[in-house]
A and B are shown apart, each in its own frame.
Chain A
């Protein structure tokens, strides 16, 4: 008897388990978006106004799946025939592989369902193409953010203001050398570093003043030619300058082991006079607060463009034709036209004016209002509530206006100033490496060799530099790779 009662209870329990949660309305489908974009307050991705708007307007419930292990997860799920409806692809190489294996949808065949999306990403749509067809939405890259920052308090103590700051590289470096030699932090030790930063990015403005980029970058020149500035005569001069600064200790010898945060912390504690970083690392409100705790009088300003010996004034490199992320659609949806239509409607919607406003500023009336000139005025008390919405920007955003709203008027002058600086057009991300080119080894060889020249581990003379270039060409066929890159770029971009 007891056994029968137990069996009945178990059966009832199983039945209750099967009931589950209430289903969505019949006309609302659920899709999964797999991405490495994650909101800081990620609990909001479970239930929020963007998701509600998608359900209401498009009949789609978008379940956001944040996953930083994107490459492994995509490999695993593609082999298991379990790809989500929309997913971020970590690189063009993987996009090409997925496209050739038939896992991603050819979006060119559905261009009529993505008019706003294609129009929004028109400038960099080629970044998502494989074999001439669009296989991924290449989201608009963010505006140029790089800058070199100087400690304005120290400069002004020595009588240097923004108005009388040298605007040539030579003049600026001479000034900085003089300032570094003084005990500006007042600790009685000659321990101030001139320039710090993280990895190769630290040196981008030094190279930029010679019209060059940091190693392993392909740039598109004004006439549409793809080249590596390492092959230009000015590169040797840039290396000589940087080598001299390295030997003096002006450049922080720890740059290759520092993170962005650590480099900026070094600057904030008075260890370095200059720091090379993007504006979010130094001008976001939360960051500014923590640094003011270190030094209430701290003020960090942008150095700006410096004219080098070649007459160039580049601050760094920028991937204007590239992408922030690549979003692809599962090819299996081609067999489900109705579902595919809804999936594409989500992608297209976020590129419309309404969708951009939703994912950038929130709901009109609830989070923002329109001003007399049509400008968007976000309610200050609502800014935190819309903190997460950027992850849904599947096609990108109008970066400058978005950042102005998001990061406030205090950061806006720096956001605008960094975006207006001169940059070299970096197309490295969109040039797929051919199978005959050993990219990993070549890039390692270039990085290590250039670093050896800078640090003094290798002698830097015109002969040794020529020998390096010769070895690069003979061992890795670098000239052939550059020729290939030119052909590939022109075919991809149609320019």
Chain B
């Protein structure tokens, strides 16, 4: 029997309820599949080693302990590498955003001479890069080897991210920017005070892309640096895991699984903390930028 409508509420039919329930169950299963490994990592990092090895499934640690974290912070150099990664991420992201925006905004102007040619050349680099050897030679010639700038400058501008920004700038009404010019704004002021505040979704999205890329710096260290003080976080993490899984030299310390899990948690926490603040911009920004290309 169908009940009468009351107010503006739309009544669900029986089949709607069944489908909704099925979707919820499916999402719940997917959530568990996705969430449980992460939960296991966190739980294993605060569980004594012998309990982790004995237990097939960790639900709640019976004897929570931070021994693994204590060892991690005191013996593996992870704190120093965290600071290196933080520096590289902050400086690199700011530099990358500045360069990408300053490249994208002029290219969004139809009146720019050679706009089409410049855009084509930039797109070309997206498909055909110079390769590892020419990049290394360039880094070496610029005397960046074994410096923190070697972790930042080689990958500073991503053509893909720049095109996302350019696409969004193109979609902005020309009249708005012309009105700013009429009111006396120069190009830089137009960009900073008019265009950028309106392009917050795509700007935050691109910033998140750059942040994650810099946060995951790994190969750049081994290609361009050897100073231990410049080791990024992911290098320390990989060394911890490699020494536990490979045929370690007898002389090497083999970190237990709890130490490895503690290292994984430590390396993920900052990104996980930052992401919720950017999430509201993320989906909107990426879709807008992609559609208008």
- The residue of chain B having its C-beta at the shortest distance from the C-beta of A259 within the complex is B245
Q: Is the interface of B mostly helix, strand, loop or mixed?
A: helix
Contact flags (1/0) for B165-192 with A, using CB distance below 8 Å?
A: 0000000000000000000000000000
Name the interface residues of B207-227: CB closer than 8 Å to any CB of A.
219, 222-223, 226
Chain B, 223-281, CB within 8 A of any chain A CB = 223, 226, 228, 239, 242-254, 256-257
Q: Are A406 and B253 in contact (CB under 8 A)?
A: no
Interface flag for A297 (CB, 8 Å): no
B5 within 8 A of A: no
B137 is an interface residue with CB less than 8 A from chain A: yes
Q: Which residues of A contact B132 (CB under 8 A)?
A: 72, 76
Min distance, Cβ B237 to any Cβ of chain A, angstroms: 13
Cα-based distance from A259 to B260 in the complex (angstroms): 14
CB B42 to nearest CB in A, in angstroms, measures 20
Segment at the interface with A among B48-56, B88-96, B119-127, B196-204: B48-56
Question: In the complex the two chains form, what is the Cα distance from A268 to B239 in whole Å?
Answer: 25
Contact between A290 and B77, CB atoms less than 8 A apart: no
Whether B140 sits at the interface, judged by CB under 8 Å, is: yes
**How far is A45 from B227 in the complex, measured between Cα atoms in Å?**
10
Q: For the complex, what is the distance from the CA of A32 to the CA of B136, rounded to whole Å? A: 17
Query: Per-residue CB proximity of A132-146 to B under 8 Å, as 1/0?
Result: 000000000010010
Q: Give every chain A residue within 8 A of B48 (Cβ-Cβ).
A: 293
B117, CB-defined interface residue at 8 Å: no
What is the CB-to-nearest-CB distance from B86 to chain A, in angstroms, rounded to a whole number? 19
Cβ contact of B251, chosen from A32, A34, A73, A387, cutoff 8 A: A387
Given A76-B136, A80-B136, A40:B253 Cβ within 8 A = yes
**Which single member of B222, B242, B245, B250 contacts A407 (CB below 8 Å)?**
B250
Task: Judge whether B133 is part of the interface by a CB distance below 8 angstroms.
Answer: yes
Are A80 and B137 in contact, CB atoms less than 8 angstroms apart? yes
Cβ B53 vs Cβ A265 within 8 A: yes
CB distance from A107 to the nearest CB of B (A): 24
Pairwise interchain contact A269-B54, C-beta atoms closer than 8 A: yes
Could you say which of B222, B244, B245, B253 contacts A286, with CB atoms under 8 Å apart?
B253
Given A38-B239, A39-B251, A268-B53, A46-B228 contact (CB < 8 Å): yes
Chain A residues whose C-beta falls within 8 Å of the C-beta of B256 in the assembled complex? 290
Expressed in whole angstroms, the minimum distance between the Cβ of A140 and any Cβ of chain B is: 14
**Contact pick for B228, options A32, A43, A69, CB 8 Å:** A43
Given A76-B132, A76-B223, A286-B253, do A82 and B140 touch, yes or no (CB 8 Å)? yes
Q: How many Å from the CB of B244 to the closest CB on chain A?
A: 5
User: Are A73 and B133 in touch, CB under 8 angstroms?
Assistant: no
| Residues of A171-205 whose CB lies within 8 A of B | none
**Contact B140–A80 (Cβ < 8 Å):** yes
In the assembled complex, the CB of B186 is this many whole angstroms from the nearest CB of chain A, namely 20
Given A63-B226, A67-B226, verify A284-B250 contact (CB < 8 Å).
yes
Within 8 A of B (CB), among A68-97: 68-69, 72-73, 75-77, 79-80, 82
Docked pose: A38 CA to B140 CA in angstroms: 24
A259–B247 Cα distance when bound, in Å, is: 8
Q: Which residues of A contact B50 (CB under 8 A)?
A: 290, 293-294
Q: For B253, what are the chain A residues with a Cβ–Cβ distance below 8 Å?
A: 40, 286
Residues on the B chain within 8 Å of A407, using CB: 250
Given the complex, which residues of B lie within 8 Å of A280, measured CB to CB?
248, 250
Query: How many angstroms from the CA of A142 to the CA of B228 in the assembled complex?
Result: 28
The contact of A45 among B219, B228, B244, B250, by CB within 8 Å, is B228
Q: How many A-B residue pairs have CB under 8 A?
A: 86
Q: A45-75: contact bitstring with B at CB < 8 Å (1 yes, 0 no)?
A: 1100000000000000001011111001101
Q: Which chain B positions have C-beta within 8 A of A34?
A: 226
B250 touches A73 (CB 8 A): no
What are the residues of chain B within 8 A of A39 when measuring CB–CB? 251
> Are A69 and B251 in touch, CB under 8 angstroms?
no
State the CA gap A387–B249 with chains docked (Å). Answer: 12
Would you give the 0/1 interface string for A351-392, flagging 1 where the beta carbon is closer than 8 Å to chain B? Answer: 000000000000000000000000000000000000100100
Instruction: Check if B77 sits within 8 Å of A69, measured CB to CB.
Output: no
Give B38-54 interface residues, CB cut-off 8 Å to A: 48-50, 53-54
- Contact between B254 and A287, CB atoms less than 8 A apart: yes
Query: In the bound complex, how far is the Cα of B48 from the Cα of A260, in angstroms?
Result: 20
In the complex with contacts A43-B228, A80-B140, A261-B245, A390-B53 CB distance below 8 A: no
Q: Determine whether the beta carbon of B133 is less than 8 Å from that of A76.
A: yes
The residue among B75, B246, B251, B254 with the most chain A CB atoms within 10 A of its own CB is B251
Q: How far is the CA of A43 from the CA of B78 in the complex (A)?
A: 12
Are A68 and B249 closer than 8 Å at their CB atoms?
A: no
* Docked pose: A40 CA to B222 CA in angstroms: 17
Q: Mark B96-126, 1 if CB is under 8 A from A, else 0.
A: 0000000000000000000000000000000
Q: Could you tell me the distance between the alpha carbons of A38 and B244 in the complex, rounded to whole angstroms?
A: 14
Asked if residues B222 and A69 are in contact (CB atoms below 8 Å), the reply is: yes
User: Which residues of the other chain, A, contact B247 by a CB distance below 8 angstroms?
Assistant: 260, 278
- A491–B219 Cα distance when bound, in Å, is 40
> Which residues of B sit under 8 angstroms from A260, Cβ to Cβ?
247-248
Q: Is the CB of A290 within 8 A of B251?
A: no
Contact B226 A65 (CB under 8 A): yes
Do A73 and B53 have beta carbons less than 8 Å apart?
no
Closest CB in chain A relative to B260 CB, distance in Å = 10
Docked complex Cα distance between A37 and B243 (Å): 12
The answer to whether the Cβ of A409 comes within 8 Å of any Cβ in the partner chain is no
Please report which residues of chain B, range 131-145, place their CB below 8 angstroms from some CB of chain A when the two chains form the complex: 132-133, 136-137, 140
- Report chain B residues within 8 Å CB of A100: none
Near B by CB (< 8 A), chain A positions 12-47 give 32, 34, 37-43, 45-46
Given A76-B132, A261-B245, verify A406-B228 contact (CB < 8 Å).
no
Contact B251 A390 (CB under 8 A): yes
CB distance from A85 to the nearest CB of B (A): 13
B228 and A42 within 8 A (CB): yes
Chain B, residue nearest A63 (CB): B226
Chain A to chain B: the 9 pairs with minimum beta-carbon distance, closest first: A65-B226, A280-B250, A40-B253, A259-B245, A79-B133, A293-B50, A69-B222, A294-B50, A80-B137
A-B contact pairs, 21 of them (CB 8 A): A37-B249, A40-B252, A41-B75, A42-B77, A43-B228, A45-B228, A65-B226, A67-B226, A68-B242, A69-B219, A69-B223, A75-B133, A76-B223, A77-B136, A80-B137, A145-B250, A261-B244, A280-B250, A293-B49, A390-B251, A407-B250
12 extra A-B contacts, CB within 8 A, seeds A76-B132, A269-B53 = A40-B252, A72-B132, A82-B136, A259-B245, A260-B248, A280-B248, A280-B250, A284-B250, A284-B254, A286-B254, A290-B49, A290-B50
